[in-house]
Amino acid sequence: MNKQTRIFFAAFFGFLVLSFIINMSVASYSTSSSGGAAVFNRLGNQVGVVRIDGVILNSENTVKEINTFREDPRTVAILIRIESPGGAVAPSQEIFNAIRTAAEAKPTIVSMGSVAASGGYYIASAATKIFANPSTLTGSIGVIMQLSRYNELLDKIGVAIEVLTAGRLKDAGSPIRELSDEEREYFSEILADIHDQFIRDIALGRNMDIDYVREFSEGKIFTGNQALDLGLIDTLGSFMDAQNYIRELLNLPQNTTFTENRSPSNILREFLSSVSPLGGRFPLNRKGGFFFISEQLL
């Protein structure tokens, strides 16, 4: 066998191995209640598990996972584990709507980890019931936008940029000059509108009076204990407590499987986040737009 033939067979074998790994990743698997090894689940009733980890920048995979469990007749409930300081507004709203739709079809329970703040709390508020640990950091009901300015730096190095627009506010927030009073008012109106959407959806999801929600919607962070007193969550408890609640609620056997449908992109993103020296940090000034995010919890 010549060298080229050996290289071909080695590459072909590598391709087969990679395909197998990807297929295994997207296959449905279940984790035993004792936290044991994952086993494939194809038959019998199950509880779907969806994990929302890190900064929320897109919603496509998460919404797909939620909808798949909602439409699956074998799935009798959905358990959503949130470990997130929030993220971009639109993806958070899309996940909120997916959870709310799922909660109308079957019990959809949220378990909060260390952090489920801002957009992380926003999506949780659509669930049937919310569990949090006493020290979980949640709340942070507010909207943030950061704009960089480097006009002084450009002046120091002698660089001038000329901008032409059609529309008075087309370059509002430009980093090469200071904001005008008109632009500040313009952005403030947008922030206020998005903040109002946040408050209205929480009131809807938690069945609360909207004026009551406004009282603590100033971006403050709450512990799980404080959130319970405010009615932002339903009970204190761990992920395992949430599992036991679902078993009791639906009279399920102890060996009921809790199944995850993980997409390869989600697995890859979580792996890269875990090995990144930045630890998943997210500098807002490198991203445009408005965010439901608790930046101090990044």
Give me the active site residues, please. Answer: 118, 170
CB atoms within 10 A of CB 75: 21
Q: Is the distance from CB of 120 to CB of 98 less than 8 angstroms?
A: no
Q: How far apart are alpha carbons 270 and 287 in whole angstroms?
A: 20
Sign of the torsion angle spanned by Cα atoms 112, 63, 187, 178: positive
CB atoms within 10 A of CB 51: 19
Q: How far apart are alpha carbons 294 and 136 in whole angstroms?
A: 13
**End-to-end Cα distance, the chain:** 55
Q: How far apart are alpha carbons 72 and 114 in whole angstroms?
A: 30
Q: Which two tokens stand for residue 164?
A: 């032409």
Beta strands 46-53 and 257-260: pairing type?
parallel
Q: Is the distance from CB of 92 to CB of 55 less than 8 angstroms?
A: no
Burial of 249 (C-beta count, 10 Å sphere; 0-12/13-18/19+): middle
Q: Is the distance from CB of 69 to CB of 48 less than 8 angstroms?
A: yes
Helices (H) and strands (E) in the chain, counts: 10, 12
